[in-house]
Amino acid sequence: MHLPPNYALERSGTGSVRSAAGAPDIVAPTLPGQGRARPAQRGRQITRAGRPVLRSIWAGTKRALSALDKVLAYLVPVMAFGAGGFMLYASAFERIPPSEEMVLVTGPVEYYSVERSRGDIPNRINFKMWNDDTPYWTNEIDQDWVSGRLEGTTIRVAFHIEPGPVFRLGTVKTFGLSVNGRVIKGLEDDIAGETTLLRYVFPVLALIMVGLGYWKWPRRPQLKLQPDGTMAEARIEKGFELSWGKLTPRRQFIRSLWTSGFAILFVLLIKPEFLWILGTAIGCSIWSWSMYRAWRSDVEQQP
């Protein structure tokens, strides 16, 4: 490009050459790859710029999921320990007063509601008495009451409560129940059942819950070198081990036998009815047989 000698040139920021004497602009040629980017190129540039952000979000998500997994691994044992501790506390410090200390309450019912479990089976009645704002509840179910046959009539009830009264979770538990003169459950029978639950059933359930919490508590696996050169968690043949999965198939079969025996004995003590005993025996037999087959299969696979 040839210019007269009296022209002084200066370069503007737009890539064009402008004369200082006010002459027309002389545009410099644009090289390939310079200038404004095409839409496709801009899209690729945005995508490349967004990749680090996406990687950072994904890494943060994985860290959050890993932390949640650790929390859930400790959640079940902590809940089991809490339930076991509550049952032990209730068994040790809660007291059911004798019948002589109970307070008799009689009168008409102003309001009631029925709570039902699965299968539409009534399992609890919440109610209030006339001129009494105390909320009461009972798990003694009168079929005439919960079925609605007494609707439109005066429902007179009689029951006993602990002196105070004693509120638990905002309501007062009743002991014994009579509806319109019909005895649904006697006071002495109700006290005996609650005492058995508190003194004998709760400690057993507490030990089971504490054992479950100990079993479910996360631990580092103890790895053992296998014959094929791989590392696998060692199985226990001798000594006590609470975790079922760490036992050898033979130990699992033996444990299934005495566990089944305890289950049948528990049913004989709590629910000595033929169908309950038969169903428990059949279920335990199928379970023990499956453990025996797993043991025999493991023996056949060994060299």
The string of DSSP codes covering 173-215 is E-EEEEETTEEEE-HHHHHHHHHHIIIIIHHHHHHHHHHHHHH
Per-residue pLDDT of the chain (303 residues; tens, 9 = 90+): 555 554 444 444 444 444 444 445 444 455 555 555 555 555 555 556 667 777 788 778 878 877 777 777 788 888 989 999 999 888 888 888 888 889 999 999 988 888 887 667 788 889 999 888 889 989 888 887 877 777 778 889 999 998 887 887 788 999 999 998 889 888 998 899 888 888 888 888 898 888 888 877 776 655 565 565 555 555 555 444 555 666 778 888 888 888 888 888 888 877 777 888 888 889 889 988 988 888 888 777 766
Closest CA to 139 of 107, 184, 99, 94: 184
* Relative orientation angle of helices 202-216 and 39-93, to the nearest 10 degrees: 150
Cβ contact 252:294 at 8 Å = yes
Q: What residues pair up with 231 in beta bridges, in sequence order? A: 225
- Share of the chain residues as helix, strand and coil, in percent rounded to the nearest 5: 50, 20, 30
Q: Where are the domains of the chain?
A: 47-93+198-217, 99-185, 247-303
In CATH, the number for domain 99-185 is: 2.40.50
Query: Could you give the 3-state DSSP secondary structure of residue 121?
Result: strand
pLDDT for position 19: 46
Q: Rounded to the nearest 5°, which phi and psi values hold at 264? A: -65, -40
Give the pLDDT score at 143.
80
Task: Give the CA-trace dihedral at 261, 264, 265, 268, to 10 degrees.
Answer: -160
For tokens 């004998």, the residue is 200
